[in-house]
C-alpha cells in the first residue's frame, strides 16, 4: 500500500492558509535581522508548461501556467547603493554594489544579472536589503531561476518606484539569464512568471509577446510528476536543438521556423537531412497543437486538450528527441490511468517533470497508482505536485 502523503505535496490556492509558511519564515527572519517588519514582500511563482515545448525560441506558441510554488523576498530600501540578501535556503548572505556590478558565481548572479539588465535599459536601481526563500524544487524544470529573476526585478521596481510592466520585465530578466548568467533560454519562463493569471494558462505568442488567458477545463486538475531525475547535459543539448532549428529556418530563408508551413516542410523533405526534417516537424506541428489546445480549453474540452498533450509527447520523444527513459516511463504510466486525459514531458526535457491533466475526482487514485507503478518500473521515488494556476509576480499584501 502506497502512502499518499509520501508523494503528494498539495497546494490548493483557494484553500491556502492566509499566509504561506515560506512567507511567514522570511518575515520572521527579517524581523530578527533588522528589528522591524519588512517594507514589503514580493512573490514570484514557478511555472509548468501544458503544451508548446521548444517552440518559444522558434518565435512560436506556448501554453504555460504559473504554479502555487514560489520564491518570496521580504525587503526594505537602503540609503546607499548596496544590495544585501540573506537566503534561508542556501543559508548564506550575499552582498553586492550596484555601482560596480561584477560577475561572480552562485544564486546571487540571477539578482545581479537583473540589476545589470535594468541598468542597461536605463531604469533606476537603488539599494535594498532583505531575506529570500522559496519552495520551487530546483533543477526540476519548474523555473526556479526565472522566479528568482522576476522576484528580484519586482523588488528593484518597488524600491525605485518606476511602473511595473510585466512583459518588459520578462524581457529584461531573459536578457539577464542569457547575457549575465549565460543560459540561452527563450522567453516562455520569464513571461509566464511575470504575467501569470490565477485559474488560467496563458497562450503566449513568442514573436509578438501577446498573451491570451485561457481557463483550465472545468473539473480537471493539473498534476506535476517529477521523475526525480536530473540530467547534466541539458544545456548543451538545448543549444544544439536551437542551432538545428535556426539552420533549418535559414535553409527556408525565413526568420524562424514559425514562418514555415507544414506543406512547405514536407515538400522540402528530400533536400533536408532526416534529423533537420524531424526537428522542424516537431516545431511546426507543436505550434499547431498549441493553438488547438488553447481553442480546446476555451471550449472546456478536456479530452481534446489531453489528446494534444499525448501527441506533443510523442513528437518530443521521436522527432525532437529531448525525452528520456524515465520521462517516457512516467508519461506512459500516467496516460494509462483512468481519469487521465493526457500527459507529456514538460520543460526542456531529458529529466525533470512530466505534466498530466486528470479528472479532479480521480486525482487521488491517479497519484497513488502512478507513484507506485513508476517506483516499481524505475526504482526511483517520484515527487508529485498538485497545483492550481496562480498569479504572476506581485507585491503581496
Ligand atoms: C526551458 C527554456 C524555455 C523553453 C523550454 C522548452 O524551460 O528556459 O525558454 O525553451 O525549455 O520549451
Catalytic residue check, 59: no
* Nearest residue (CA) to ligand 1, atom 9: 186
Q: 324-352, pLDDT tens digit by residue?
A: 999 999 999 999 999 999 999 999 999 99
State the pTM of this model.
0.95
Q: Within 6 Å (CB) of ligand 1, which residues are found?
A: 53-54, 56-57, 185-186, 188-189, 347-348
Write down the pLDDT at residue 19.
64
Quickly state the pLDDT bin for 17 (edges 50, 70, 90). very low
Q: Which atom of ligand 1 is nearest to the CA of 141?
A: 7
Ligand 1 atom with the shortest distance to the CA of 54: 12
What is the rounded distance in angstroms from the CA atom of residue 87 to the CA atom of residue 108?
9
Beta-carbon count within 10 A of 32 CB:
9
Q: Which three cell numbers stand for residue 101?
A: 556590478
Cα(346) to ligand 1 centroid in Å equals 9
User: What is the domain partition of the chain in residue ranges?
Assistant: 15-213, 216-387
Please check whether the domain covering 15-213 is classified as CATH 3.30.230.10: yes
Mutate to test the pocket of ligand 1, among 188, 224, 352 (most ligand atoms within 8 A of CB): 188
Q: Which atom of ligand 1 is nearest to the CA of 186?
A: 9
Q: What is the pLDDT of residue 18?
A: 47
Tell how far the Cα of 62 is from the centroid of ligand 1, in angstroms.
10
Please check whether the domain covering 216-387 is classified as CATH 3.30.70.890: yes
What is the per-residue pLDDT for 233?
67
Q: Which of 46, 51, 56 to mutate to test the pocket of ligand 1 (most atoms within 8 A of CB)?
A: 56
Q: What are phi and psi of 80, to 5 degrees?
A: -100, -165
Report CA(328)–ligand 1 centroid distance (Å): 19
With 50 as the cut, is the pLDDT of residue 389 above it? yes
Question: What would the mean pLDDT of 73-84 be, rounded to a whole number?
Answer: 98
DSSP state of 216: P
CA distance 381 to 7: 8
For the cut 50, the answer to whether the pLDDT of residue 83 exceeds it is: yes
Please identify, by atom number, the ligand 1 atom nearest to the C-alpha of residue 183.
8
What is the whole-number distance in angstroms between the Cα of residue 364 and the centre of ligand 1?
30
Amino acid at each position: 500500500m502506497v502512502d499518499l502523503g509520501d508523494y503528494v505535496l498539495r497546494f490548493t490556492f483557494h484553500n491556502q492558509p492566509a499566509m504561506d509558511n515560506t512567507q511567514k519564515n522570511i518575515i520572521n527572519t527579517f524581523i530578527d535581522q533588522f528589528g522591524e517588519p519588512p517594507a514589503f514582500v514580493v512573490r514570484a511563482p514557478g511555472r509548468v508548461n501544458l503544451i508548446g515545448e521548444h517552440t518559444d525560441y522558434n518565435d512560436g506558441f506556448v501554453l504555460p501556467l504559473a504554479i502555487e510554488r514560489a520564491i518570496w523576498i521580504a525587503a526594505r530600501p537602503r540609503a546607499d547603493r548596496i544590495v544585501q540578501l540573506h537566503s534561508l535556503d542556501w543559508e548564506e548572505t550575499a552582498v553586492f554594489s550596484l555601482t560596480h556590478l561584477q560577475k561572480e558565481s552562485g544564486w546571487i548572479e540571477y539578482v545581479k544579472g537583473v540589476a545589470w539588465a535594468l541598468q542597461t535599459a536605463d531604469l533606476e536601481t537603488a539599494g535594498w536589503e532583505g531575506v529570500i526563500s522559496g519552495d520551487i524544487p530546483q533543477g526540476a524544470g519548474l523555473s526556479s531561476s526565472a522566479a528568482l529573476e522576476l522576484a528580484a526585478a519586482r523588488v528593484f521596481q518597488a524600491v525605485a518606484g518606476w511602473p511595473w510592466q510585466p512583459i518588459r520585465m520578462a524581457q529584461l530578466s531573459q536578457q539577464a539569464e542569457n547575457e549575465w548568467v549565460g543560459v540561452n533560454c527563450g522567453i516562455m519562463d520569464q513571461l509566464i512568471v511575470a504575467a501569470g493569471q490565477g485559474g488560467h494558462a496563458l497562450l503566449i505568442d513568442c514573436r509578438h509577446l501577446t498573451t491570451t488567458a485561457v481557463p483550465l477545463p472545468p473539473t480537471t486538475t493539473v498534476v506535476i510528476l517529477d521523475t526525480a531525475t536530473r540530467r547534466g547535459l541539458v544545456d548543451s543539448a538545448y543549444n544544439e536543438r536551437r542551432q538545428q532549428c535556426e539552420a533549418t529556418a535559414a535553409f527556408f530563408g525565413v526568420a524562424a521556423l514559425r514562418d514555415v508551413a507544414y506543406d512547405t516542410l514536407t515538400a522540402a523533405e528530400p533536400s533536408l537531412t532526416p534529423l533537420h526534417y524531424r526537428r522542424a516537424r516537431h516545431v511546426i506541428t507543436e505550434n499547431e497543437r498549441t493553438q488547438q489546445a488553447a481553442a480546446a480549453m476555451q471550449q472546456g474540452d478536456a479530452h481534446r486538450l489531453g489528446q494534444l498533450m499525448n501527441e506533443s509527447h510523442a513528437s518530443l520523444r521521436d522527432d525532437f528527441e529531448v525525452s528520456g527513459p524515465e520521462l517516457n516511463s512516467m508519461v506512459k504510466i500516467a496516460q494509462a490511468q483512468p481519469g487521465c486525459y493526457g500527459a507529456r514531458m514538460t520543460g526542456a526535457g531529458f529529466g525533470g517533470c512530466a505534466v498530466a491533466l486528470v479528472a479532479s475526482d480521480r486525482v487521488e487514485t491517479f497519484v497513488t497508482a502512478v507513484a507506485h507503478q513508476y517506483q516499481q518500473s524505475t526504482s526511483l521515488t517520484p515527487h508529485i505536485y498538485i497545483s492550481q494556476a496562480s498569479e504572476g509576480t506581485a507585491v503581496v499584501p
